[in-house]
Copies of this chain bind each other. A is one copy, B any other.
């Protein structure tokens, strides 16, 4: 029995849903409503001391941190999301982290709202998001200008990098980031959205 505690619009939750779906694993979804601050409730803190989502219940354990969860799934189910040799894995992990460490945490809704609140209204939420997502994705676009980029970020099969990139592109579109200067990223987005397993993980299909 696999149970995923997530939120439909959380991009780190979206990453884990993509992973589970790609592996064809059956799981129960339990929504932790970030809109009503359920992530800070005692029940969620007991399973996730950071008070965030996602948490994956699997193999009698509760795993946190989306990338740690995806590395676990890759190892246990031989998903193939981390290619050989070690240098290729380093490239894929760097791409994944260029999204997961440099863009997403700063555009986490809580952090962005704090920065906007601190500005007393002179900074709009859309501005903060665009100022950080746009340059962040531009750097990823440059990293994809590389001989090993294929239909996906690394070659022609899905890797950890694609699983992180797609949810960030969803957020970029949500906040009106100009995607025109990012053709390589748009190509990966298209290749990912063509997969049924990815479509089934999409936030819009899960919106309450």
Contact = CB atoms under 8 A, between A and B. Distances in A.
Interface size class of A (residues with CB under 8 A): 35 or more
A50 B139 contact: yes
Contact of A120 (B105, B119, B131, B143): B119
Interface stretch (A22-30, A60-68, A196-204): A60-68
A98 to B, nearest CB: 6
A61 to B, nearest CB: 6
B114 A63 contact: no
Contact of A139 (B51, B59, B98): B51
Given A49-B139, A65-B101, 19 more contacts: A50-B139, A50-B143, A59-B87, A61-B90, A64-B94, A65-B93, A65-B94, A68-B97, A75-B86, A75-B89, A76-B86, A100-B101, A101-B104, A111-B132, A114-B131, A115-B115, A118-B118, A118-B123, A120-B120
A16 B150 CA distance: 30
B90 A72 contact: yes
Contacts of A63: 90, 94
- Of A49, A52, A98, A100, chain B has the most CB atoms within 10 Å of the CB of A49
A69 interface: yes
A172 interface: no
Main secondary structure of the interface of A (DSSP, over half): helix
Interface of A: 49-52, 59, 61, 63-65, 67-69, 71-72, 75-76, 86-87, 89-91, 93-94, 96-98, 100-102, 104-106, 108, 111, 114-116, 118-120, 122-123, 128, 131-132, 136, 139, 142-143
- Of A89, A94, A114, chain B has the most CB atoms within 10 Å of the CB of A94
Integer count of this chain's copies in the complex: 2
Contacts of A108: 106
Contacts of A87: 59, 61, 72
Nearest to A138: B49
A105 B110 CA distance: 14
